[in-house]
Amino acid sequence: MLPTLDFLISNTTNISLKNIAQKVKDSERITNDECQILFEQADLPFAGVLANYIREKLHGNKTYFNRNFHIEPTNVCVFSCKFCSYSKLYAQKEEGWELSIDQMLDIVKTYDNKPITEVHIVGGVHPKMNIDYFIELIQKIKAHRPSLHIKGFTAVELDYMFRKAKLTIAQGMKVLNDAGLQSLPGGGAEIFHEDIRSQICADKVSGNGWLQIHEEAHNLGMHSNATMLYGHIEKYEHLVHHMSQLRTLQDKTKGFNTFIPLKFRNSNNDMSHVAESSITEDMRLYAIARIYLDNFPHLKAYWPMLGRQNAQLSLSFGVNDIDGTIDDTTKIYSMAGSEEQTPTMTTEELVMLIKQAKRTPIERDTLYNEINIFE
Ligand code: V47
Ligand code: SF4
């Protein structure tokens, strides 16, 4: 059995760690320096006890998932992120795919009689798919199924769309929101710090640009998620910097729902020589994120990337959401070497997975309203 938080506070001899544990007990925010200390000095059981204490205080035994499907309009991309296994440069576009609006609507229609609540639209940045194309797509999806929540477009796609259309971020977000876009996914964040960003994804939106787009969406009352691509060439200080930028913005807007750490996978990309992180590091990272991001209500493990068993394990290290039932229309991870080559799970399988980890599965909608409790 794991020790309790009180036991850790009484028995930890490392004064810095003891103070952090006390702060967690007192619901006090930890500093950036303390976050760095956790990365450098906390072992997995220590971080796990603190994170699980917070997780259970916030959510008890509840573990959320939703019923969603993905549409990936294209994998043609004008950018060339070194870690990306998915995109095809525009010059090689014959090897990629580009879906027409009708083809994407056909995908939506295949779910007509299924109790899906969300469509997640995200893909490469195609030079010919402009904002008007996506406005038409969003409007047609809404006309076909008004209750379907549209969560779509990373800040990378939005930045490119707005610049091409010569719109400010505020104007562009408003137009898409008016068309029916309701939330933003968390992709494209990678690592905000310029020292790392310039090495892994130099040519796409900057860290500040990503944050500005999410801030503008929050100003319109939209919610969004935030990701962090970890476990490659970054150092602990870059992880702390990344999460501190998110915590500061969240203090201002309260618009983020979920933080989603994404484990770097090294197959079929220009960073294949970089070793992947260990499962111990993965769990420690989830735990430290849960401890540091005190103003993020939810922490999500994206199981198609982490694998099902590791996603189960993460439920003891701060995670309270394991994403949705995903159709195999999402290829970003199977192409990057995830063991989940067909990332699809039925609701029954997902419920079983959560129950096996001794948690209570709760189906939620995109905004975390509870739809079904599976006792
Ligand atoms: O931004 C690309 C990542 C992201 C690799 O908001 C890689 O609910 C690991 O953001 N190894 C896109 N990761 C996916 C994404 C997402 C996924 C699920 C849910 C939500 C949400 C958002 O995928 C990219 C990038 O960080 N990625 N290549 C790779 N080799
Ligand atoms: Fe393009 Fe996204 Fe891949 Fe970067 S991660 S190359 S922006 S598809």
Q: Is 325 in the pocket of ligand 1 (CB under 6 A)?
A: no
Q: Which atom of ligand 1 is nearest to the CA of 224?
A: 6
Tell me, what's the pLDDT at 87? 76
Closest Cα to atom 8 of ligand 2: 124
Ligand 2 mutation target, pool 93, 191, 201, 262, most atoms within 8 A of CB: 201
What mean pLDDT is predicted for residues 112-124? Answer: 94
Q: Is 354 in the pocket of ligand 1 (CB under 6 A)?
A: no
Ligand 1 mutation target, pool 65, 80, 197, 227, most atoms within 8 A of CB: 227
Q: Is 84 in the pocket of ligand 1 (CB under 6 A)?
A: yes
Residues 6+ apart with CB under 8 A from 302: 260, 262, 322, 323, 333
Instruction: Answer whether residue 28 is part of any domain.
Output: no
Q: Is 190 in the pocket of ligand 1 (CB under 6 A)?
A: yes
Average pLDDT, the chain: 93
Instruction: Answer whether residue 368 is part of any domain.
Output: yes
CA distance linking residue 162 with residue 179, whole number of Å: 15
Which ligand is closest in space to the CA of residue 77?
A: 2
Instruction: Answer whether residue 65 is part of any domain.
Output: yes
Which CATH number does the domain housing residue 223 bear? 3.20.20.70
Whether the pLDDT of residue 160 is over 70: the answer is: yes
CA distance linking residue 3 with residue 318, whole number of Å: 16
Q: Which atom of ligand 1 is nearest to the CA of 337?
A: 30
Instruction: Answer whether residue 22 is part of any domain.
Output: no
Cα of 187 from ligand 1 centre, angstroms: 5
Q: What's the distance, CA 322 to chain centroid? A: 10
Q: Which atom of ligand 2 is nearest to the CA of 190?
A: 5
Residue 312 Cα distances to 39, 286, 357, angstroms: 22, 13, 6
pLDDT tens digits for 172-186? Answer: 999 999 999 999 999
Tell me, what's the pLDDT at 328? 44
CA distance linking residue 175 with residue 122, whole number of Å: 18
Instruction: Answer whether residue 27 is part of any domain.
Output: no
Percentage of the chain beyond pLDDT 70 is: 93
Instruction: Answer whether residue 9 is part of any domain.
Output: no
Cα of 48 from ligand 2 centre, angstroms: 33
Tell me, what's the pLDDT at 287? 98
Instruction: Answer whether residue 3 is part of any domain.
Output: no
Whether the pLDDT of residue 164 is over 60: the answer is: yes
pLDDT tens digits for 237-290? Answer: 999 999 999 999 999 999 999 999 999 999 989 999 999 999 999 999 999 999
The sign of the torsion formed by the CA atoms of 275, 277, 279, 280 equals positive
Tell me, what's the pLDDT at 217? 98
pLDDT tens digits for 2-48? Answer: 789 999 999 999 999 999 999 999 999 999 999 999 999 999 999 99
Instruction: Answer whether residue 356 is part of any domain.
Output: yes
Residue 160: φ, ψ to 5°: -65, -45
Give the lowest-confidence range in 89-93, 271-275, 329-333, 361-365.
329-333
Domains identified in the chain, total number: 1
Tell me, what's the pLDDT at 85? 86
Q: Which atom of ligand 1 is nearest to the CA of 269?
A: 30
Tell me, what's the pLDDT at 249? 98
Spell out where the chain has E strands.
Answer: 62-71, 76-77, 88-89, 118-121, 149-152, 183-184, 223-230, 256-263, 298-299, 321-325, 360-364, 370-373
Give the lowest-confidence range in 140-149, 184-193, 211-220, 319-328.
319-328
Q: Is 242 in the pocket of ligand 1 (CB under 6 A)?
A: no
Cα of 262 from ligand 1 centre, angstroms: 6
Tell me, what's the pLDDT at 295? 98
Tell me, what's the pLDDT at 49? 98
Residue 357 Cα distances to 105, 310, 311, 316, 354, angstroms: 37, 11, 10, 8, 5
Which ligand is closest in space to the CA of residue 78?
A: 2
Query: What is this structure's pTM?
Result: 0.95
Range of the domain at 87: 59-373
Which ligand is closest in space to the CA of residue 204?
A: 2
Tell me, what's the pLDDT at 375? 83
The tokens of 350 are what?
């997902």
